[in-house]
Amino acid sequence: MAGGIASTYKIKIAKRRETALRLRLEGLDYREIAARLRSEYPNYSFNSAWRDVTYLMAEQLKKNAELAEHVCQMEMNRLDALLNAVWARAMEGSVEHVNAVLRVMERRARLLGLDAPVKSDVTTDIRRVVIEYVNDWRNTPAVSASWPDDCPTALAANNSAECGAALAQDDAGNGDHG
């Protein structure tokens, strides 16, 4: 009899979870779900609604992952059969069959994610660019400390300097970059 009570309790929880998920899919938020289900489940709260919905969603994800794994294995078996059908002729040198083998191998690599894009370390690239910029900046002649009044004269004397170079001066204002 104890197994019957436990089974009834599990069925009741499963129905409650399904109802909570259905209400969430209909667009209700967790407070609204809790309010709706509180009449049947007096202690039902926001947290209860959230737990019920996330539990069922996690279960769905597990099922989908298992299904995807089975489909992937089935596709791998099909690719093995295709490869087996053309392999001997490809090894004999048939260009048509070599191309078929390569297409099967490409498909297998895509299916297994072997052709994932090469990851690059963006922080290293940015660091290199900043270092190059700073080094270029250090080689630029400084504009006098009296900028902006003196800026047009300084630019006329040295067309490669920018007014912004005045910002390169150290705290002493002497333009020493070192």
pLDDT over 70 at 21, yes or no = yes
**Torsion over CA: 30, 35, 36, 38 (sign):** positive
CB 157 within 8 A of CB 151: no
Instruction: For residue 178, name the pLDDT band (cuts at 50, 70, 90).
Output: very low
Give 159 or 128, the one with higher predicted confidence. Answer: 128
- Please give the DSSP secondary-structure letter assigned to residue 173: S
Q: Determine the pLDDT at residue 152.
A: 52
More confident residue, 155 or 137: 137
The domain spans of the chain are: 2-112, 122-168
The distance in angstroms from the start CA to the end CA of the chain is 87
CA distance 86 to 72: 21
Q: Is the pLDDT of residue 7 over 50?
A: yes
3-state secondary structure 3-61: HHHHHHHHHHHHHHHHHHHHHHHCCCCHHHHHHHHCCCCCCCCHHHHHHHHHHHHHHHH
Mean pLDDT of 1-20: 85
Residue with tokens 């300097």: 161
- DSSP string for 85-135: HHHHHHHTT-HHHHHHHHHHHHHHHHHHTTTPPPP--HHHHHHHHHHHHHH
Encode pLDDT of 81-140 as tens digits.
999 999 999 999 999 999 999 999 999 999 888 887 766 665 666 777 777 777 777 766
- 31-83 confidence digits (pLDDT tens): 999 999 999 999 999 999 999 999 999 999 999 888 888 999 999 999 999 99
Position with higher pLDDT, 152 vs 125 = 125
The encoded tokens of residue 67 equal 């299904």
pLDDT value at position 93?
94
